[in-house]
Amino acid sequence: MWTAELKENAELLTLFEQSGRNVQRTACLLRDLFAEYPEQTELATEVLAREHEGDRIAHAILRRLAARGTNGSNLDAADVHALTGALDDVVDHAEEAADQLGLYGVEAPMEQAQQMTEVLVQTADRVAAALHELRDNGDLTDHLVEIHRLENHADRIVRSAVASLFVNGIDPMMVIRWKDIFDTLESAVDACETVANVLEGITLKRAGRAH
């Protein structure tokens, strides 16, 4: 039964996989921007282009859902909406972080910010891999566990970074700006964890229907 449903949902699942690859590409561009800033500010434009691509994929998913619903599907409409929104949020927060570098006049990114973008890349890799497994009816477990671990690691980086801002006596306006940037980066990783939570729910429902 799942094989037949998988065929019926091939277009939808392929769109989710495309969204996962877009999340992955966006995270890599953001990491490179933070690593090279301000030498390669043009990477921010590429991140913005990825954000537009994410919107295009999200609209395609929701248009398909509105037109065909989830009849005969192993995906609930609520899960489709939640997964689409979470994937879109990852890219939106990444684009916001890229924009904040220029908006706040950052001269050079903090080391912890570069660490956060690297964590985001690792998390995005797992998101993309999990969505590939979803399409192929594979096992998502290892990817989802690692996403949760990486989100906890990101929390620790942010707490340490914000604490160091206050300890080092940086100009208060710079403290506020960097805290905003860290909040945005953390939100991007948190959105990846939301993706994992939705995928866990889909996996449980899929397992329940198989019995």
Average pLDDT over residues 140-153: 98
Phi-psi region of 122 (alpha: psi -120 to 50; beta: other; left: phi over 0): alpha
pTM of the predicted model, to two decimals? 0.93
173, pLDDT greater than 80: yes
Domain containing 146 equals 2-210
CATH at 199: 1.20.58.220
Helices then strands, counting H and E runs in the chain, come out as 7, 0
105, pLDDT greater than 50: yes
Quick one: which of 47, 9, 41 has its CA closest to 27? Answer: 47
Percent of the chain with pLDDT over 90: 75
Q: What pLDDT band is residue 170 in, cutting at 50, 70 and 90?
A: confident
1, pLDDT greater than 50: no
- How many residues are given for the chain? 211
Count of domains observed in the chain: 1
Backbone angles phi, psi at 94, to 5 degrees: -65, -45
Name the residue with higher pLDDT: 125 or 72.
125
